[in-house]
Amino acid sequence: MSPPRLHLARLTLLAALLLGAAALRALWLFARAAEPAPAPEAAATRESPHAGRDDATFAATTTQAPPQRTAATPPAEAGAQLDFPARIEALVQVGMATSHFAQNDEIERAKASDARARSMFAELLRQYDDAGERALQLLLDYPARSDDVHDNATCRVSGMVLAAELTRREEQADRFDDRRLVDTLTANVLEVLPLGERLADCAAPTLIDRPHLRLVHEPAVLHLVALAGEQQFSRELATRLLLTLWHNLQQFGERSSTDLACLALLQLGDADPSQRIAACRHLLSSARYRPAVLAWLREHQDLDVANEAARIAARELPAADALATLRELTPLLPEMPAAYMALAHRAPDALADSYEQLLADNVQPATRRDLLAGLGMDEAGRQRGTLELALQNDPDPTVRLQALLSLSASAAQQCGEAACTQLLDDPLIAGDPERLSVVVMALQNLEVAGMTNAIDRLGRRLRAMRLPEHARRELDQLLARALPDGRPSGDRGR
């Protein structure tokens, strides 16, 4: 039997070119893994990364010829010396072949193709000291997004080469205490980012969350942020580049944490949402400045930044801090189900404890509802006890309905039908057509769980109740899909 294809991602790295964005992270790991170690004799004779060549060789774009080196036979075509674009094309072809082998479970051929790609990539880096500039020049030929698989693969391979070259120069800068080469290439990347969306998509990630951006690049990054404010550049990329810059400035001692916090506080008042969001993200990460940014958000009623703050808190802050931050944002954002769902993935117990505390105090029903929505994301049903507690005891009928939806999604087989029946017996639910439509939604979860008999029994009961027209249509469609002959058992034979 063929091994699961999921494991092939570990074997086939260039194959990720055709396997979507989730596999792209493997490409960056591949680029780093493929970087060759310097030969001992070369390291012994080189006193500076500039040895034997003028600074302009690296500061210029890719129009100049690469340095002369001892010829090495590329592993691609027999005996032919490939130029740089041809080497990129060869990598693209090998990547496509590897993807084909991976998708067809041809494990050994995929391994061999992947090993060949690694060797070709390493040889390209050995042959060209200016591989980064050459890769950037190739990216300039593909500025706009398109659906062309080959062009997209070419851009991604070029982005890999650019990332590998930046990493190589960063290591040289550390070794020789000279940042001119990496700073110049980084500046070149920043300069061309606004020229096209696909170019930016492939080149910007080589700088984001990497150590290359430094104080010398601050004007260029702020220029991109300004362009984002004018809708001439991606706001998301501009924000992430600015955050990376700030992180690096603090990590490498070019600015203190206090200096950066003061700058971020000033940028909260900027007209550009990109700068406000970046400032918010930076300040939220600090317990010292978090109250200040939350107070600012409440005062200025900035819903765009408040939504971003909720997302950041749910995904990045410790669970207790995340819950406290979301509570602080409640006056601005009364409903935040997406944030609580994100937090539930990593801290379901914290959400359950928070719900039980709010229930005991009988406060914030909207937040109680969002907490239960988050707990419904636990497909293992580990929070079933808290959801059943809400179904039985929460005084707010809308919260009980959310408990029903979460139970029918996470523990349908165990208690889905009983939960639906309990709420159909509740006069506050049965007498309200819109609330009954939520019970119809719960039946859709039972359909996913394959509970045909339960749908038959509940469907017959719901058809006899006062439903809104849209809910009645949904119920009839559900019964037609889920039941034999498309009708409840009481209707068969009529």
162-185: pLDDT as tens digits: 999 999 999 999 999 999 999 999
Pairwise pLDDT comparison (61 vs 105), residue with the higher score: 105
What are the residue boundaries of the structural domains of the chain, listed by start?
1-40+53-212, 214-333, 411-494
Burial class of residue 305 in the structure, from the number of CB atoms within 10 Å of its CB (0-12 exposed, 13-18 middle, 19+ buried): buried
Average pLDDT, the chain: 83
From 144-153, 168-177, 352-361, the region with the lowest mean pLDDT: 144-153
Q: What does the DSSP 8-state code read for residue 76?
A: S
Query: For 12-32, what is the mean pLDDT?
Result: 40
According to the model, what pLDDT value does residue 42 have?
A: 37
Segment among 2-11, 126-135, 436-445, 457-466 with least mean pLDDT: 2-11
Helix, strand, coil % in the chain, rounded to nearest 5: 70, 0, 30
214 Rama sector, left if φ>0, alpha if ψ -120 to 50, beta otherwise: beta
pLDDT on residue 492: 54
Q: Is the pLDDT of residue 28 over 70?
A: no
Structure tokens at 452: 């045909």
pLDDT at 45 (0 to 100) = 36
Phi, psi of 28 (to 5 degrees): -70, -35
DSSP assignment, residue 178?
Answer: -
- Asked if the model's pLDDT at residue 63 lies above 70, the reply is no
Does residue 155 have a pLDDT over 80? yes
Residues 169, 163: Cα–Cα separation, whole Å: 10
Q: Which parts of 287-411 fold into alpha helices (H)?
A: 290-300, 303-316, 319-329, 337-346, 348-361, 365-375, 384-393, 397-410
**In sequence order, what DSSP letters do the residues of 249-310 get, joined into one string?**
HHHTTSS-HHHHHHHHHHHTT-S-HHHHHHHHHHHHT-TTTHHHHHHHHHHHT-HHHHHHHH
Q: How far, in Å, CA of 329 to CA of 347, rounded?
A: 19
Give the model confidence (pLDDT) of 415-443 as tens digits: 999 999 999 999 999 999 999 999 999 99
pLDDT bucket at 298, cuts 50 / 70 / 90: confident
* CA-to-CA dists, residue 87 to 80, 113, 131, angstroms: 11, 15, 11
| pLDDT band, residue 380 (cuts 50/70/90) | low
Q: What does the pLDDT look like over 246-279, one tens digit per residue?
A: 999 989 999 888 888 888 877 877 777 778 888 8
Longest Cα–Cα distance of the chain, Å, equals: 95
CA distances from 473 to 301, 437, 487 (A): 40, 10, 14
